[in-house]
Amino acid sequence: MNLPLTPVRFLRYAEQQFPGKTAVVCGERRFTYSEFADRVSRLAGALRTAGVKPGDRIAFLSLNCHRLLEAYYGVLEAGCILLPLNIRLNGAELTYILNDSGATMLFLEEEFAGLVDSFRHDLRTVRKFHLLDGTPPAPWLSGQTYEQMLTSATPFREDLMAFDENSVAEIFYTSGTSASPKGVMLTHRNVYLHALNLAIYHHTRYENVLMHTIPLFHANGWGAAHTITSVGGTHVMLPRFLPEEVFRLVQAEKVSALSLVPIMAMVLINSPARSRYDLSSVEWSVIGGAASSPTLIREVEEKLGFKCFSGYGLTECSPSLATAELKPDMHGTPEQEQVIQAMTGYAYPGSELRVVDDADNDIPRDGVTMGEIIARSDGVMAGYWGQPEATAEALRGGWFHTGDMAVIEQNGYIRIVDRKKDIIVSGGENISSLDVEKVLASHPGVFEAAVIPVSHQKWGEAPKAIVVAKPGCELSEVDLIEFCRARLAHYKCPQSIEFCESLPKTATGKVLKRELRKKYQVENSL
């Protein structure tokens, strides 16, 4: 008889085959797979004792920690749906998500107690608040902490045959960079097959040690919460992204792989601490969450000493869809390879990608014609929570429409040129903000840059760059514009440049262009 596809099976397997193997390293605490699985089963038992019902949404407001990783399995074991919350959201945003999802229980770390207290009276469905760490500082918090719940609980393990692989396992809310956040429903089948496909492609094995640099509240943790468990590898938890702590843990735990967003990679490259640590255990790193550049790929490989390539995905796809790791026949000079490794890439196993025109017809594989990426895969969501119309629009024709505009090369590599909403139309010409940003990023004095459209009396729109300089570097608007003109058609180059100390970002490092457009479009009109 076929077993249902559920990520709970990964932990059952790891516990049976590798009970004494180190499963999780979290600060000073270390857990074997036997200990980790016991804690997970106690969480499931505690939730059932608390009276949860099948399908209840259980929310966690937590940094990367062993307790949040336990929830990835224990909440599902109890028959519930995991709802990880972005710790960088404000009270109004968290209130919206908790009410929209109908969450019934909220687990939170002590440092967020004041924040939750400020909006808890506005919550319509949350019945209980449990502290993950510390001592309950207020009467509205349950007197029983997370650890006390586990200690007193009777372990519970559901019969694997009782799982419905098409039921929702996790809900992750989109970042809401362009509209209200939507709850992405990922099923047990989505999560299981997504992890399996990534583990197969990356040859994930027992010896692997993965550091959770990407927040586990983001997009299914990029699949890492499940891929490593599936083969009995070791999870290393990183609560906050601090460069020296990353280096220390890599050296101490012999970390073999990690995921980064561009700003994380730039911070590591420019950290003065990097030369004091041995990073030789790292086999590879994937950069995702936002567009990369050949310059960034080169600097990671040269200055950090490990293989680096881009990855592509969306929350709606569990999230990974593509990798820019070199195909066997794509090798060339280091410069040629780095250009390829900075692309969006080609589909992972279990995914199909097309680039289409407005009528959903495939565009030519010429590297020039622009279209929208559409996808179907084992990981594509069941839909948006409570939004059937938005679901139907996103999944029309049986394909998920990503909103990412791209070209496709003859060899099948895809290269995103922009989000639909970020394409700049100047004098009738389409300009990719990403192309301009990559040129700016190649300047030795530029730390990061974003390009947005601003109104222009003659051309309708024109590119404007917002630039952050590297520490100690003096940059001028005139010099940077000339730098761009030497490398781009003049109509693509920024008409103006603003310098600032930092760019507004989501919790995972994605630049909030909505905020930049709002700020600088207003300023431009004054």
3-state helix, strand, coil in the chain (%, to 5): 35, 25, 40
Q: Which residues of 355-368 are buried (b: 16+ CB within 10 A; e: fewer)?
A: bbeeeeeebebeee
Stretch 16-37: mean pLDDT = 98
Torsion 43-49-53-57 (CA) sign: negative
Confidence of residue 420 (pLDDT cuts 50, 70, 90): confident
The total of other beta-carbon atoms located within 10 Å of residue 389's CB is: 8
Number of H helices and E strands in the chain, helices first, is 16, 25
In whole angstroms, give the CA distance from residue 182 to residue 382: 13
Query: pLDDT digit string (tens) for 475-493?
Result: 999 999 999 999 988 888 9
Residue 509, φ and ψ in degrees, nearest 5: 90, 5
29-32 and 22-26 strand pairing: antiparallel
* C-beta separation of 424 from 431 below 8 A: yes
Query: What pLDDT, on a 0 to 100 scale, did the predictor assign at position 525?
Result: 42
Q: Which amino acid is at 391?
A: T
In the block, residue with structure tokens 């590599």:
413
For residue 524, is pLDDT > 90?
Answer: no
Q: Which amino acid is at 399?
A: W
The set of residues, in sequence order, having a beta carbon less than 8 Å from that of 135 and lying 6+ positions away, is 110, 145
Termini Cα distance of the chain? 69
Query: pLDDT digit string (tens) for 100-115?
Result: 999 999 999 999 999 9
- The number of angstroms, rounded, from the C-alpha of 93 to the middle of its chain's C-alpha atoms is 19
For the chain, the structural domain boundaries read 423-525
3-state secondary structure of 309: strand
Query: pLDDT digit string (tens) for 304-355?
Result: 999 999 999 999 999 999 999 999 888 889 999 999 999 999 999 999 999 9
Mean pLDDT of the chain: 93
3-state secondary structure of 216: coil
| Angle CA 312–316–317, to nearest 5 | 50
- The number of angstroms, rounded, from the C-alpha of 214 to the middle of its chain's C-alpha atoms is 6
* C-beta separation of 229 from 10 below 8 A: yes
3-state secondary structure of 217: coil
Query: What pLDDT, on a 0 to 100 scale, did the predictor assign at position 399?
Result: 98
3-state secondary structure of 300: helix
The total of other beta-carbon atoms located within 10 Å of residue 210's CB is: 20
* C-beta separation of 73 from 8 below 8 A: yes
Maximum CA extent, the chain: 72
* C-beta separation of 74 from 47 below 8 A: yes
Confidence of residue 507 (pLDDT cuts 50, 70, 90): low
For residue 40, give the H/E element and its range.
helix 33-49
In whole angstroms, give the CA distance from residue 315 to residue 320: 8
DSSP state of 362: B
DSSP state of 60: E
Query: What pLDDT, on a 0 to 100 scale, did the predictor assign at position 54?
Result: 96
Query: pLDDT digit string (tens) for 249-280?
Result: 999 999 999 999 988 999 999 999 999 999 99
Cis amide leading into 319 (omega within 30)? yes
Which fold, 423-525?
GMP Synthetase; Chain A, domain 3 (3.30.300)
